[in-house]
Structure formats: C-alpha cells, structure tokens
Chain A
C-alpha cells in the first residue's frame, strides 16, 4: 500500500494542478450548467441572484425543441454541417490526390491551400461578408458582381439572406478555410502508404482504379474518419464565422451556438444553459461512438 502510494504519489502531485483545473472548469461547470438549465432562470433579476429561481426540470428543453425558432437553428446546423463536410472532404481529397504524385512547386501549392487555416474566422468573415453581399444587378458587389463580369449572371443569388438556405452560403467560407487542413491530413495519409504496396499492386497488373479501390482507399479510411470527426465537431460548434458574416440578430443563419449567445445577452440564463447542454449532447453523440470505435480498433 505504502509502496503503491510512493509510486503513484509524485506523478499525481505533478498532475494535480491540471486535474483540479479540468475537474472544475470542465466537469464541474458542465454539472452547474445542467443545474441552471433545469430552472426558470429567465430574467436579469434571477440571473444576478436578486430573485430566486425554481426547478422546472426539462421544461426549457421541451419548450426549446418545440419552438419553431430553435428548430430552424437545428435544421441550419444540419445543413451547414452536411455542406461543410462534403465540401472540405471533396476539396481536401482532390488537392491531396493531385499533389501526391510528384508535382513541380508542390510546396507552393500546399502552402497556398493551407494558409486560410492560419487566419481567424473573424478576419476572414470581414472579407466574406463583402464577397457574399446579397445585392444583385446594378448595385451588386462581391461575388455577384464577379459573376456578372465573367458572364455567369445566373449564379447571382442573395447568399446568406435566403431564409432556408442562407446557412449554406456561410459554409462556403468555412470550406475555403478548412479544405487545406483536410488536404494536409490526406496528404500525410498518402505519404504514409509504403511505396512497396503500390509497386506490388502494379506488379500484379492492377489498374489505376483497382489500385485506389483496393489498396489506397482502405489505407486512407481511418484518416477520412478522423477528418470527418474533426470537421464535423468543429462545424457543430460554429460561431465566429456566422457572427462576423451575418450578425447574431439574423434569423436566416442562426445556429444553436448563436442562440446560446443571444439568450445569454438577454439574461435568459436557463435557456442559454439548455442550448449549451443540447450542443454538448449532439457533440457527444458524434464523439463517443468514435472514441469507442477507435478504442476497439486499437486493441485489435
């Protein structure tokens, strides 16, 4: 017993500051947040503790899920995530595929494709807000003007001002920003496949398509899954880009993360906390099966 303690004591002591911080700031606060989300803490007076709040259990959750406005946020979140995922995966894979075989100036292409990743969503939001200006015809600027100039007038549209599909317009800058990242992942994946594997397949007379189908794709699938999880989980938390392109007051492009901010700003702490908890549950639904899956495949 004493020996065990002597062995585990020092490392635990070294970990202690981090453990306390993570324990309080992650686990503790998730608990408190949940406790707030099941109360009727909807006013500034209650938020500041001047008036008491009572527990209403899952009332806020039911009201939120039943409200048309929040359903709109959820639909937006799904639309955004699907387009964002498909866009980054397709672009990222295409770039990696083109750059995998020897290419002159590969470093240059890679650096250009990846650079948007180094820029904040707030900064890129400034220029994308301009590019996605919804004016058309005479007063058009941004991409709509560019479409006119290159004779693609029919592509003009009102971007994020569309109530149903406005959120898809916001996925465009998101794709611009993260495709390079997916490229980097896939490129590392391609490079991690031993040359002998390709050689062997070619020796056996496999066609280029068969080589991809039976040799390269299976090797790349774990990376594709990682990319999906990382981009997907970023997408579910999207906030900065939406805030800087279309302000939070915009119904068209709101998602739960924006709702959470708006509720907080109006001192509706209970609903704000409930939206946060719903987001956590959605993210956990994606992350937990993935963690279990990777745990299993590693044991194998």
Chain B
C-alpha cells in the first residue's frame, strides 16, 4: 500500500464514493450553550455570505450608484445592464469552457478508471511503485514544468487554445483520477474478480463486466471533480490561451483587470455568470462534490 491513499481518502473509509456527512440521531435540548452555538453558526453564515451580497447587489447597480458612500446599499434603481454587458463579453468564452471541460472530464475519467482497475485488481509486480510514480504528478507545482511545456506544445504543433487545454487537463488529471478509482476498486472484494478470472474472463472482459457496472458513483465523483477543476483553472488557461481563444476564467480576468478604470458592476455580474455552472453542480450533486474533495483533492 502506498502512502497517499491514506491521506484525505480515509476519513470516510472509501474514497471515490459520494460522501454524506449526515447528522447523527439524538435529540437536542434547549440550553444557553446551544443558543450561543446557533448564534455563532448564523454569524458565520452571514460572514461567509458577505461577498455574495456584494456580488449580487453591485451587479444590479447602475451609474447612479457610483458613490462610495452607497457601496453597501441596495441599488437605487435595479438594472440588468451589467448582466447584459457581461453576457455579451463572456458568452463566447463560457461556450469555449463548456467545449473544454466536457471532453477533458470524460477522457480523464476513462483513463483514471482503467488505470485504477489495473493498479488495484489486475496488478503486476511493481504496480505499487508505478502508482506512486503516477501520483507524484498530483503534487508538483505546475510552474516547475511550465517553460518546457509551452515549448513542447508548440513543437508538437497542437492547436492552441481549447484543444491544448483539454490535453493538459487530461494529462495532469491522470494522477487524481487514478487515485480516486484505485481507492474505490480496492473496496471491491477480490473474490468477485477471481471468480471472473476462473470463468476464463480476460482483463478487459473482467473490467467491462465486473468493475465497470459498479463504477457509476466513482465516475460521477471524478467527472464532477475534473469538471470543477478544469472550469475553475486559471494557471494553464493564462499560459496557453488568451481572452480570444481561452476559457471563461481568462476572459473574466481580462474583463475585471483589463480596463484602466474598473467597472465593478460588469465584472461582478461576469463573476457570477462564470461561477454559475460549478455552483449548480455543487447545489445539485453536493455529496458527490464532497466525495471528490475527500479523495485527495488538490485544487489548483
């Protein structure tokens, strides 16, 4: 067994599965201590939501609200102008982000699943060493490969912008997706695989008929993880694309930091637009999202 799987993977036992941090049973009693706790919990909710309030309110403000004294007030007149401008500016980039994350997530999930299978339930001598070597790729700061990477991408003549970014998200996603699937397959009883083997099933057959059918939860976790990571990535995006051919993070950064005089209304509407897809995934598939976090998650 190698080291890293015992990292954040273990708290919930199995990684690569949805994690429900659900409550314990037991009834609560009303006490002063409890009231203080609820007050603290609510205070933190307010603090955490302050940026959301600012984003929403500012995005609906018009030019009449430019006075800093009104910074925290509700808009005098609500306008959707900022949203329209932000949408016009960002929609091509949002579309490009979609074209980037969908193939990137699917390809890296497939690779991760195959690797995870081979490194856990169809192993060979030295499999653990190979796994550790792959995992190392998860921890490196990408700055340490960036200069030669830009040259390599140029040399192999890969089309710039989105295709290059798909390639990079797939390649550098291999360690984490392999980790998640491997940890998940480790929980599959050996007997299941052996039974298939005794029946004369080969490697691919065993994968296809024994492991793949039970991999759905892990696939959801990995797809969400890769989707969120690629969607939110800025480092690769800023090195390998521009606001003309890049994903939404680059376009948003350009919108927010490009102009000399910053238009906060438009950039905040843009920030909300750019965050909607990942937020929706978080809201709808929350426990799968947490499942990804638990399995050795490393963000950017």
1/0 contact string of A111-154 vs chain B (CB within 8 Å) = 11111111111111111111100010011111001100100000
Q: Does A229 contact B (CB under 8 A)?
A: yes
How many residue-residue contacts, CB under 8 A, span A and B?
Answer: 309
Provide the bound-state CA to CA distance between A276 and B145, in Å.
7
B299 and A29: CB pair below 8 A? no
Closest A residue to B150 by beta carbon equals: A264
Measured between beta carbons, the chain A residues less than 8 angstroms from B192 are none
Main secondary structure on chain A at its contact with chain B? helix
B23 and A106: CB pair below 8 A? yes
Measured between beta carbons, the chain A residues less than 8 angstroms from B3 are 290-295, 298
For B21, give its contact among A8, A184, A277 (CB under 8 Å).
A184
B140 and A283: CB pair below 8 A? yes
Other A-B pairs, 11, CB within 8 Å; known A109-B44, A237-B142: A18-B174, A29-B145, A112-B45, A116-B51, A120-B232, A127-B58, A128-B51, A130-B264, A237-B141, A272-B146, A297-B6
B6 and A294: CB pair below 8 A? yes
Q: Does B2 contact A (CB under 8 A)?
A: yes
Main secondary structure on chain B at its contact with chain A? helix
Contact (A95, B44) CB under 8 Å given A12-B124, A18-B111, A29-B148: yes
Contact (A230, B8) CB under 8 Å given A22-B175, A103-B37: yes
5 closest Cβ pairs, A-B complex: A120-B232, A188-B11, A280-B144, A8-B124, A118-B282
Measured between beta carbons, the chain B residues less than 8 angstroms from A89 are none
1/0 contact string of A1-26 vs chain B (CB within 8 Å) = 00010011011101101110110111
Which residues of A (208-242) have their CB < 8 Å from a CB of B? 222-223, 226-227, 229-230, 233-234, 236-237, 239-240
The count of residues in chain B whose C-beta lies closer than 8 Å to any C-beta of chain A is 111
Stretch binding the partner chain, chosen from B77-85, B98-106, B212-220, B268-276: B268-276
Which residues of B (208-229) have their CB < 8 Å from a CB of A? 228
Closest A residue to B53 by beta carbon equals: A127
Provide the bound-state CA to CA distance between A4 and B124, in Å.
9
A237 and B143: CB pair below 8 A? yes
Stretch binding the partner chain, chosen from B157-165, B183-191, B287-295: B287-295
Measured between beta carbons, the chain A residues less than 8 angstroms from B58 are 127, 130
Provide the bound-state CA to CA distance between A74 and B171, in Å.
29
Measured between beta carbons, the chain A residues less than 8 angstroms from B119 are 15
Closest B residue to A240 by beta carbon equals: B234
Q: Does A275 contact B (CB under 8 A)?
A: yes
B298 and A233: CB pair below 8 A? yes
B253 and A122: CB pair below 8 A? yes
Provide the bound-state CA to CA distance between A127 and B281, in Å.
21
Provide the bound-state CA to CA distance between A291 and B4, in Å.
7
For B298, give its contact among A24, A234, A244, A247 (CB under 8 Å).
A234
Q: Does A167 contact B (CB under 8 A)?
A: no
Q: Shortest beta-carbon distance, A52 to chain B, in Å?
A: 16
For B148, give its contact among A7, A14, A36, A114 (CB under 8 Å).
A36
Provide the bound-state CA to CA distance between A283 and B275, in Å.
29
Q: Shortest beta-carbon distance, B203 to chain A, in Å?
A: 5
Q: Shortest beta-carbon distance, B253 to chain A, in Å?
A: 5
Closest A residue to B122 by beta carbon equals: A11
Measured between beta carbons, the chain B residues less than 8 angstroms from A188 are 11-12, 19, 21, 294
Q: Does B60 contact A (CB under 8 A)?
A: no
A26 and B11: CB pair below 8 A? no
Q: Does B92 contact A (CB under 8 A)?
A: no
For A120, give its contact among B133, B274, B286 (CB under 8 Å).
B274
A112 and B48: CB pair below 8 A? yes
Q: Does B149 contact A (CB under 8 A)?
A: yes
Q: Does B172 contact A (CB under 8 A)?
A: yes
B68 and A145: CB pair below 8 A? yes
Q: Does A66 contact B (CB under 8 A)?
A: no
Q: Shortest beta-carbon distance, B108 to chain A, in Å?
A: 10
A239 and B144: CB pair below 8 A? no
Q: Shortest beta-carbon distance, A188 to chain B, in Å?
A: 4
Contact (A102, B27) CB under 8 Å given A25-B171, A30-B144, A243-B253: yes
B278 and A119: CB pair below 8 A? yes
A26 and B136: CB pair below 8 A? yes
A33 and B147: CB pair below 8 A? yes
Contact (A184, B294) CB under 8 Å given A10-B203, A18-B178, A292-B3: yes
* Most A Cβ at <10 Å: residue of B27, B144, B238: B144
1/0 contact string of B23-37 vs chain A (CB within 8 Å) = 111111000000001
Provide the bound-state CA to CA distance between A171 and B125, in Å.
45
Measured between beta carbons, the chain A residues less than 8 angstroms from B147 are 33, 36, 264, 269, 272-273, 276
* Most A Cβ at <10 Å: residue of B28, B51, B204: B51
A15 and B252: CB pair below 8 A? no
A260 and B270: CB pair below 8 A? no
Q: Does B114 contact A (CB under 8 A)?
A: yes
Closest A residue to B10 by beta carbon equals: A222
Provide the bound-state CA to CA distance between A187 and B2, in Å.
25
B11 and A189: CB pair below 8 A? yes
Q: Shortest beta-carbon distance, A208 to chain B, in Å?
A: 11
